Amino acid sequence: HTENSKKYLSVIRERTDSMRNLTEELFKYSVVVSETEGLKPEKVSLNDILEQSLAAFYSVFSERSIVPEIKIPGTPVERTLDKTALRRIFDNILSNAAKYSNGDLTVELFQNGTVSFSNSAKDLDKIKTERLFDRFYTVETASDSTGLGLSIAKLLTEKMGGTVSADYRSGKLFVVVKV
């Protein structure tokens, strides 16, 4: 009796956590979609924001044995963007890379404001890659994935006049942000 009860409680807890995560992501998504003026553009250093995002994911990458290869120029790459939105874009892309990378990650910031994130992704193909920015799409149905992270990244990037795209070549996923 007790073992079955523990098992059922564990399943219920897992489902509850999953629903809570989905609800939170849906709320965030609806805020992003409904905001028409909410962005606060200011002069920001892409170098700094990208470094902050990478530092925030250090423990996640360590847990998954991912040692990112990072290429950030020594001279500042500055743009007039919303700092919080930019950080959210980078965080969502890094979160996706942490979940689905096959153990590697390369992040490169170019002087023209382009940021490239690439990692091996054996579970992807061209068709799945084309759907990565679709709401609720996940490569695999993971309990900790809502399928909204990259969709939010795309919305925020476009709201700031930039573009984000994904490409799959030779077993690697490339997500490129241009702002």
Do residues 151 and 29 make contact, with C-beta atoms less than 8 angstroms apart? yes
What's the pLDDT tens digit per position in 113-124? 999 999 988 777
| Span 163-169, average pLDDT | 88
CA dist 99 → 5, 102, 104, 105, 143 (Å): 31, 9, 11, 11, 11
What's the pLDDT tens digit per position in 124-150? 766 565 656 555 545 544 444 545 668
| Span 77-94, average pLDDT | 93
Length of the chain: 179
State the pTM of this model: 0.75
DSSP state of 148: -
What's the pLDDT tens digit per position in 22-61? 566 555 555 555 554 578 899 999 999 999 999 999 999 9
Given pLDDT bands bounded at 50, 70 and 90, which one contains residue 89? very high
Does the structure show a pLDDT above 60 at 66?
yes
Mean pLDDT of the chain: 81
